Structure 1
Amino acid sequence: MAKDPSLTLKAIANPVRMQILHELGFRDGRARVTDIADALGLAPNSVSYHLRELAKANVVEKVDTPEGRDARETWYAIPEKGIALDFDNNETSSPLPPLVDSLYDAMANSAVVARYRRAAIEAEDVSNERLIGSTQVLRLTSEQQETFYSSIRALIDQVRRDTEKNQDDLRTGKVPVDETEQVYFNLDVFPVISR
């Protein structure tokens, strides 16, 4: 875990790097440099540079070429445990809120996410029950907030565990790829503070 979370946030706040991370996420967390470059319409050397910068911040890691693939190909992956930031032990006086703010803006407005969302909406075999979107400002009592936050955390923890198990099962061949499906999930919950 990085001792200075601002270094990690600066690395991923770059819009191109955020697109690369999204593309990696939509590819089960690992991909070749050339595949990412093709998907984003960027030069492979540019994508390679940004991946190296992300690797310096421990946001991605260079991984071995999968068995049966050309060993000359360069592969990168998001670490299995994801990206963790330790704000409690921040050893810098860097102002984190603006960095976190720009990170969330980049995530919510990603062209990569928009492209995959559009494909899901336009797909004939995707029912409306599988397309969920909601933007609301809620008004909840303290007790309702506690229930709301704990329910969301429990659901996120459960689907994260399910995802980790499914990824392990896919790697070991216990589950065929066509028995699972990637589902994009993004959540942004915070108290509304009037200024």
Structure 2
Amino acid sequence: MADLGQERRRITDPKMMRALAHPARLAILEHLNTTGEPTTATEFAEIVGLSPSATSYHLRELAKAGMIEEAPSRGDGRERVWQSPAHSWGLDMEADADPETRAAEEALLATYLERDQARLRAYLARAREEPKEWHDVAGLTTSTIFVTADELKSFFETVHALIDSLKQRNRKEASLEGARAVRVQLAAFPDD
């Protein structure tokens, strides 16, 4: 498993945002950042549901944008192996972003939200078939809270610290008994 350390990179370049604004590319980067495992185009093709040649195109676009890089060869050097240079990526929606950056942010966010909503709908469609221990602990909740900006910042910092600790643990203990990948979605925004 690749050691990506604690580095979290921010996406600020519109070129990077546009490169990621495709579901297959998001899936590729997510796989690399979730598993930490360098992966080939053929292996990615199975993950994203495309042909190896179409997947190779998407890998090259991500590499051009600096989102992925070639990893050391696993053997004879005939296959290109890809890795992420960071353990995670984040997007800051800068208030004073220029129009090109705003358009790229919106395209990336639309793709990201569509992908995450599709995953949530797929889970809800199969929720009743989940084993009881998983059915009983998975959830979806919406609450309205009254907080200051500082309290909301602290809330997010606490949630991120908890998520990061679990992500790091999973990297160190790749096969925890009974563990499954779990998608965590959280949005907190002013509602008026």
TM-score, normalised to structure 1's length?
0.68
State the match for 1:177 in structure 2: 175
How far off is 1:48 after superposition? 0.8
State the match for 1:172 in structure 2: none
Aligned pairs (5 A) from 1:100-179? 100-110=105-115, 114=119, 118=123, 121=127, 122-124=129-131, 127-134=134-141, 136=142, 138=144, 140-143=145-148, 146-167=150-171, 169=172, 175=173, 177-179=175-177
Aligned pairs (5 A) from 1:1-195? 5-25=13-33, 27-28=35-36, 30-66=38-74, 71-84=77-90, 93-110=98-115, 114=119, 118=123, 121=127, 122-124=129-131, 127-134=134-141, 136=142, 138=144, 140-143=145-148, 146-167=150-171, 169=172, 175=173, 177-179=175-177, 181-192=180-191
- For 1:131, the aligned partner's letter is A
Aligned pair in 2 of structure 1 residues 111, 190: CA closer, same or farther (>3 Å)?
closer
Structure 2: tracts of 5 or more residues without a match: 1-8
State the match for 2:3 in structure 1: none
Deviations along 1:46-73, one digit per CA (max 9) or x if unpaired, are 111111111111212221245xx67433
1:146 and 1:10 map into 2 onto residues whose CA distance is 32
- Secondary structure of the corresponding residue to residue 158 of structure 1: helix
Give the CA RMSD over aligned residues.
3.7
- CA contact 2:68–2:84 (8 Å) conserved in 1: yes
Deviations along 1:5-33, one digit per CA (max 9) or x if unpaired, are 21111111133322333444554564321
Of stretches 7-16 and 24-33 in structure 1, the one that deviates more from structure 2 is: 24-33
Aligned residues: 180
Deviations along 1:163-192, one digit per CA (max 9) or x if unpaired, are 23542x2xxxxx352345432223233324
Aligned pair in 2 of structure 1 residues 28, 5: CA closer, same or farther (>3 Å)?
same
- For 2:82, the aligned partner's letter is Y
Of stretches 75-84 and 47-56 in structure 1, the one that deviates more from structure 2 is: 75-84
TM-score, normalised to structure 2's length?
0.69
Aligned pair in 2 of structure 1 residues 148, 113: CA closer, same or farther (>3 Å)?
same
Task: Indicate the percent of aligned positions where both proteins have the same amino acid.
Answer: 22
Deviations along 1:133-181, one digit per CA (max 9) or x if unpaired, are 23x473x4343x54344123212123214423542x2xxxxx3523454
- Secondary structure of the corresponding residue to residue 83 of structure 1: strand
